[in-house]
Structure 1
Amino acid sequence: MIVALIVACEIGFWVLLAAGLAVRYLLRMERTGMALLLCEPLLEVVLLVATAVDLKNGADPSWKHGLAALYIGYTVGHGHRTVKWLDGHAAHRLAGAPKPVGPPRYGMPRARHEGRVWLGTVGAAVVATVLLQIAVWYVDDSSRTGSLESWRATAWRAAGIHGLIALTYLIWPKKAPDVPEPDHRPSAPGR
């Protein structure tokens, strides 16, 4: 049931996002579209409650409960940035707004950008860790909570790998391509 609910929440996230953007920009109902976008966190609340009820009803803590915690953490850490990015592109394509500025491509600005994205992953790991620890305390049986504890390690392993990748942008910043000087010599006749 939990895995099906995670899949339903993911599908619901994209359906609410598409509906919110369509109502906001195609139907020009900005407040209604924003209200639909603001309903997205309710999906995570439903998943959290369903996971807690599942554990309360005596389900053995398993990878499903750990995955639910990681999913909620990821949504908290990266959901806002995803919605904002897609909103900017929808405004450009559907409402004639200027094209959104993409992330910097070179040097320290790119390293700072990657660092901010990594902080979202750290936030996701923190949220997942807190939820998993609450579940461990809730179950209160160390012989049954091993899988939940391993998911905490998974969350921090993902944050560590992402951190190493972000660090490469700082250590080896990509340099902007050299743009050749324009040739200001007059061209020869006949060319």
Structure 2
Amino acid sequence: MNIIFWLIIGAEIAFWLLVLGGLTARYIWKKPRLSLILFALVPVVDLILLASATIDMIGGATATFAHSLAAVYIAVSLVFGKRMIAGADAWYRKWILKESGEKKKLYGMEYSIASLKFTLHHLAAYLIGTGLMWLVIWLVGNSDRTLIMSSYIKLWSVIMMIDIIITVTYFIWPRKRKTSDA
């Protein structure tokens, strides 16, 4: 495994340590300024990963799954980061602070719209991630060394199309409330 793969693992660990540290600083230590600083460091981790992967590729490395994954990771982190932190915040409140909070189940048009919002976020991540991969392909200028990135762009394009089709079906056949949920 190459160094970029381990950087991605390290970036993922750093992401969650910063998130948990930010939540602990906010709720346990009552230090909102420290919490804000820890959350602000999350994008710095992404920038270090992006710079490392780019330098590796420009320096002559042949793209691997890890290089493509770095672009996907960065895009998902940028687009879904706030949502992931909010989810971690809700989990922290429920399981660590023992606060109650019911998540509302969505049906019908509400569910369709929520699905559309998620798909639009996925589309934004797709555009950023594939844009980063296309940029690396262009910077490297050697299709043999970047072939795997082109393959992952195609794969992600298929996944994106499936996501869009599924979302459209929710508008045609809205999700119905189950009798057990009533």
Within 5 Å, give how 1:153-168 maps onto structure 2.
153-168=154-169
Asked whether the equivalents of residues 107 and 177 of structure 2 are also in contact (C-alpha less than 8 Å), the reply is yes
Structure-1 residue corresponding to 2:132: 131
Give the 3-state SS of the residue equivalent to 2:118 in structure 1. Answer: helix
Counterpart of 2:58 (choices 56, 64, 88) is 56
Letter in 2 for 1:86: A
After superposition, what is the alpha-carbon deviation per residue over 1:66-91, rounded to whole angstroms, capped at 9, x for unaligned?
11111111112211111123224435
Distance 1:147 1:46 in 2: 22
Structure-2 residue corresponding to 1:182: none
Distance 2:145 2:178 in 1: 56
What is the RMSD computed on CA atoms of the aligned residues? 2.2
Q: CA deviation at 1:154?
A: 2.0
Structure-1 residue corresponding to 2:16: 14
Letter in 1 for 2:163: H
Computing the radius of gyration from Cα coordinates, the structure with the larger value is 1
Distance 2:8 2:69 in 1: 8
Asked whether the equivalents of residues 103 and 113 of structure 1 are also in contact (C-alpha less than 8 Å), the reply is no
TM-score (norm. length: structure 2): 0.87
Asked whether the equivalents of residues 16 and 36 of structure 1 are also in contact (C-alpha less than 8 Å), the reply is yes
Equivalent pairs counted in the alignment come to 178
TM-score (norm. length: structure 1): 0.83
The answer for unaligned runs of 5 or more in structure 2 is: none
Give the 3-state SS of the residue equivalent to 1:27 in structure 2. Answer: coil
Give the 3-state SS of the residue equivalent to 1:143 in structure 2. Answer: coil
Over the matched positions of the two proteins, sequence identity in percent amounts to 28
Structure-1 residue corresponding to 2:177: 176
Q: Is the aligned partner of 1:122 residue 2:87?
A: no
Letter in 2 for 1:14: W
The answer for unaligned runs of 5 or more in structure 1 is: 180-191
After superposition, what is the alpha-carbon deviation per residue over 1:145-186, rounded to whole angstroms, capped at 9, x for unaligned?
22111121122222222223323322221223469xxxxxxx
Structure-2 residue corresponding to 1:42: 44
Distance 1:74 1:157 in 2: 17
Q: Going by fraction, where is helix more abundant, 1 or 2?
A: 2
Distance 2:88 2:145 in 1: 41
Distance 1:103 1:144, change over 3 A: farther
Distance 2:179 2:63 in 1: 56
Structure-1 residue corresponding to 2:26: 24
Q: CA deviation at 1:30?
A: 1.2
Distance 2:169 2:104 in 1: 16
Deviates more, 1:168-177 or 1:45-54: 168-177
Deviates more, 1:149-158 or 1:122-131: 149-158
Q: CA deviation at 1:93?
A: 6.0
